[in-house]
Amino acid sequence: MISGPGAAMLDSKLFVSRLNGDFPDLYERWWDGDEWIWINHGRPASSAVTGTPGAAMLEEKLFVVVADGSLWERHWRSDLGRWAWNSHGRPGNRPIVHGPGAEMMNEKFFVVTDDGHLWERHWRNDQGRWVWNDHGTPPATTVATAPGAAMMDSKLFVGTANGRLYERAWNGTQWVWVDHGLPTGTSVATAPGAAMMNSKLFVGTADGRLCERVWNGSQWVWVDHGAPPATTVATAPGAAMMDSKLFVGTANGHLYERVWNGSRWVWVDHDTPPGTTVNAAPGAAMMDSKLFVSTASGRLYERTWDGARWTWVNHGTALHDRAEHVVGRPGPDPKLSILIMGDGYAEADMNAYRSQVTSQVLGALRLDLLLLHQGAFRVVRVDLVSVESGVRERRYNTRGTIISDVFKFSRLGLIPNDSWDRCWFDMSTFTDARIEKLRQRFAPDADHVIVLVKSDTWGGCSSVGPGTGYFTEGSGMTTVAHEMGHNLFALGDEYVSATETFTGVSRYPNTSEAPSEWNMLKWFDLVAPNTPLPTNAARPPAGWNRRTSVGAFEGAGGSYATGLFRPVLECRMNQNNPPWCPVCGRKILTDLEVFE
Amino acid sequence: MSPHPQWRGQRRIRVALEFSARGIRLAGMKPLEGPAVQRPFLEGSYLAEVTVGGTTAIVHSFNDPRSVRGISRPQQPGHSFTRPGTAVVYVDVPIAHEAPLGDISINVTDLSKLRQRPVDLAEVQALLDRAPKGIRAAGRITGEQLRAHPDWGALGLPGIPSAPRLGFYEIYRDREKQVRWRLRHSDGRTVAECAGPYPSRAECEADLRWMKESGSRAPVRSLDIPSPPTAAKKRK
């Protein structure tokens, strides 16, 4: 679960508090120029963050309340080039229960403590420090909502325990309480918000209506906006835009817009985010065209105008991408470096993803002789969090026409196509750049990247040498091992599935053309004694071990039934499951030796 | 970390080369700690010979990056091959920690048409020197190209001032010799330009100052969102 969205900055970031799981931390959702990503800001003094972040100032600081009710500032220290936590403590040693809100002049904002007092936190430039000012309680009642609807750098509004709206205003001499009374026939039930034109604000009421408190030029009056059709207002109003619209969450989980259309106020139903409901006040409005809501599913959703219509954008659960060295340690010593990441794994899939990495990729890297040479490797696993589980799936017919294309939004945009002659995968336009960005961030020294793709299909597609390889979960450890034989150690295929004749000179260490003299065979020193060369696969010598006895069997390189020879009858570069043969093993050891 | 005979330098610049039908392009650079590794076998169909200060520092080998391989179908051995439009390979340039950096060049050679060739380093270098028929020069990245790339200033190399990867405003004169400005992204793209020419450079500079001081924080106004339909009822 996450708090409501708050503390929007630069039209490109906002903050939420994550309220459950292993990371009860402050999270930033940031558009990095390529995609929205989650950044974990951690928690101050090991105390879980609990409230909606707010009071963003100067595009570089915001405030959040933690579990013990104290206030913390998260501040971008440009002098240090990093974010820092600063403690603001508890006002009057009372825990904060509402706020922060009602920021003014980039130097003050307000919170509410558990005894119903309104407190101001003020940067006193003359004193060079922050101070707490106790504004006390409104007459004969206490503050019961977050402070909001700051106006003119000198007033703000709160809802009180007796259901009234109170203004706290600086009259030029002192701060005073101004009683705005009760909305007609009901009481204030939400924090005030959506201030507009320094003369109006909105509240949700106890009977589920939206009420406006507006200065009509001579006095403050209540304007009843009623309830949205067939439902009631359930959150504070927020995400005011263009001095003419605001948004609320409703009891049926919809997002509703209340907008002045030029002649009257109308309700616009934005429906529910797909598969879930709105459960907190809308916030973090940006560019008059997007806002964010938290949902019952724990996901953050964006409601955005895409140029033609309003659409929902799933931002997923607040969980950051993380990297872990799963083989070897960070360091400058050269290693055969591999970066593993997943596509289509949402937060709920992360344990399964890690298991897949262990069983398929790390399992492949521990096969046979590799187990004894783990010191040559540096393997980094990136837990890349997609906003939804699974990836886009596309299918073609035999004429190459797309017959189905089921969209899902995954981080790397890999699209399994279940087609061997289409390399099993289509790529999105951003796939390569996204992978490169992650490589630069998490493992810039990676020689090879392996991507596990969450799909039920079979498939794997890989660069011919070091580069990037993509595999679905179903492709299996031995398939990954075979491909790594190609990518990491430049081994050739030892199988044959066609009838062509090889006429060239093999560059691969484990396949060979017929040499002019068989004692010139590149692996002659490994040939079993008294072995006829070439060796007849149908009638190998007595006692022949199909996996370890080395000869020269015709047929290799995938296509060549004749003219190209392989050293053994069974090898990982042939049938995938058997271990690498002695000839492949020698090449692997030579390649790894420079990294040990 | 005891040095291995096949380790080169103390640091390395990892250079990204993008292969396409048009040739080879310098795609980026990143500094990495630790030596580059001279691999013992050079079996790939391409070689990248890296020279630093006129001496061969390392030779890399790789297969055609624009060839990708699909895994076998279940119960049916055999790879499929396809060819993407572009692909990137990485070439490490070994450098010393403090020593002045000599001029760097990267020569990429295509050996795929060569019927027979050695794979060990010494013989490969002799082959490159002989340059027999069948060898094709696939591309060359010069020191000048490296120094002109936006990544160069961020490498933190000795003697090279570091430059943050910001975009920048350019003041220039158009064909009519009038002063204009444009804003370039750090990747070189023009992302904004002035609405028209300025009568003087001073007025151009004044607008740039205004944009730098306040323009970056100016709110975005969306004027492309229509209002909901109007109706007869009057606003209270």
A411 lies in some domain: yes
Residues A464 and A505 both lie in one domain: no
Domain's final residue, options A489, A518, A543: A489
A145 lies in some domain: no
The per-residue pLDDT for A165 is 98
What is the set of domains in chain B, with CATH numbers? 7-70+80-154 (2.60.40), 168-215 (3.30.160.160)
A77 lies in some domain: no
- pLDDT above 60 for B220: yes
Residues A331 and A445 both lie in one domain: yes
> Which residue bears the tokens 């795609």?
B27
Give the residue from chain B lying closest to A474, CA to CA.
Answer: B74
A358 lies in some domain: yes
Tell me how far CA of residue B123 lies from CA of A519, A590, B40, B59, B94, in angstroms. Answer: 21, 18, 12, 12, 21
Is-contact A75 A83, C-beta < 8 A?
yes
In degrees, rounded to 5, the angle at the alpha carbon of residue A487 between the alpha carbons of residues A481 and A489 is 85
Residues of B in contact with A486 (CB under 8 A): 69
Total domains, chain A: 2
| Residues paired with residue B120 on neighbouring β-strands, in sequence order | B41
- The reply to whether A305 touches chain B by the CB within 8 Å rule is yes
Residues A360 and A460 both lie in one domain: yes
Which of residues B219 and A215 earns the better pLDDT score? A215
Task: Please tell me which of A534-538, B111-115, B204-208 the model is most confident about, judged by mean pLDDT.
Answer: A534-538
- pLDDT above 90 for B99: no
| Per-residue pLDDT tens digits of chain A, which is 596 residues long | 999 999 999 889 999 999 998 999 999 999 998 999 999 999 999 999 999 999 999 889 999 999 999 999 999 998 888 999 999 999 999 999 999 999 999 999 999 999 999 999 999 999 999 999 999 999 999 999 999 999 999 999 999 999 999 999 999 999 999 999 999 999 999 999 999 999 999 999 999 999 999 999 999 999 999 999 999 999 999 999 999 999 999 999 999 999 999 999 999 999 999 999 999 999 999 989 999 999 999 999 999 998 889 999 999 999 999 999 999 999 999 999 999 999 999 999 999 999 999 999 999 999 999 999 999 999 999 999 999 999 999 999 999 999 999 999 999 999 999 999 999 999 999 999 999 999 999 999 999 999 999 999 999 999 888 889 999 998 899 999 999 999 999 999 999 988 999 998 898 999 999 999 999 999 999 999 999 999 999 999 999 999 999 999 999 999 999 999 999 999 999 999 999 999 999 999 999 999 99
Residues A485 and A541 both lie in one domain: no
Residues of B in contact with A440 (CB under 8 A): 30
Which of residues B212 and A204 earns the better pLDDT score? A204
The per-residue pLDDT for B231 is 54
Q: Which of B116, B225, B231 sits opposite A264 (nearest CB)?
A: B231
- Strands lying side by side in the sheet with A108-113: A96-104, A108-113, A118-124, A129-136
For A552, the domain range is 496-581
Residues of A in contact with B34 (CB under 8 A): 331-334, 445
A230 lies in some domain: no
The per-residue pLDDT for B236 is 44
Is-contact A300 A282, C-beta < 8 A?
no
Is-contact A190 A177, C-beta < 8 A?
no
Residues A370 and A505 both lie in one domain: no
CATH number of the domain that A352 lies in?
3.40.390.10
- pLDDT above 80 for B228: no
In degrees, rounded to 5, the angle at the alpha carbon of residue A74 between the alpha carbons of residues A70 and A78 is 155
Tell me how far CA of residue A282 lies from CA of A16, A240, A273, in angstroms. Answer: 12, 9, 12
Residues A454 and A521 both lie in one domain: no
Residues of A in contact with B41 (CB under 8 A): 490, 509, 587, 590-591
- pLDDT above 70 for B165: no
Mutate to test the interface with A, among B47, B68, B71 (most CBs of A within 10 A): B71
CA nearest A69: which of A36, A101, A96?
A96
- Alpha-carbon dihedral angle through residues A426, A429, A434, A439, given to the nearest 10 degrees: 60
Residues A454 and A538 both lie in one domain: no
Domain's final residue, options A489, A511, A542: A489
How does residue B163 score in pLDDT terms, banded at 50, 70 and 90? Answer: low
Residues A415 and A557 both lie in one domain: no
pLDDT one-digit tens code per residue, B33-46? 999 999 988 989 99
Residues A500 and A482 both lie in one domain: no
Q: Where are the beta strands (DSSP E) in A454-495?
A: 460-463, 468-472
3-state secondary structure of B186: coil
Residues A476 and A370 both lie in one domain: yes
Quick one: which H or E segment has residue A101? strand A96-104
Average pLDDT over residues B163-190: 83
- Strands lying side by side in the sheet with B11-20: B23-33, B11-20, B87-95
- The reply to whether A421 touches chain B by the CB within 8 Å rule is yes
A561 lies in some domain: yes
Residues A577 and A551 both lie in one domain: yes
- pLDDT above 50 for B210: yes
- Alpha-carbon dihedral angle through residues B148, B153, B154, B157, given to the nearest 10 degrees: 110
A242 lies in some domain: no
Reading the block at residue A541, the tokens are 């010598």
Measured in angstroms, the CA of B80 and the nearest CA of chain A are apart by 6
DSSP A53: -
**What is the reported pTM?**
0.89
A391 lies in some domain: yes
Domain's final residue, options A432, A458, A489: A489
The per-residue pLDDT for B235 is 47
Is-contact A221 A214, C-beta < 8 A?
yes
Residues A341 and A362 both lie in one domain: yes
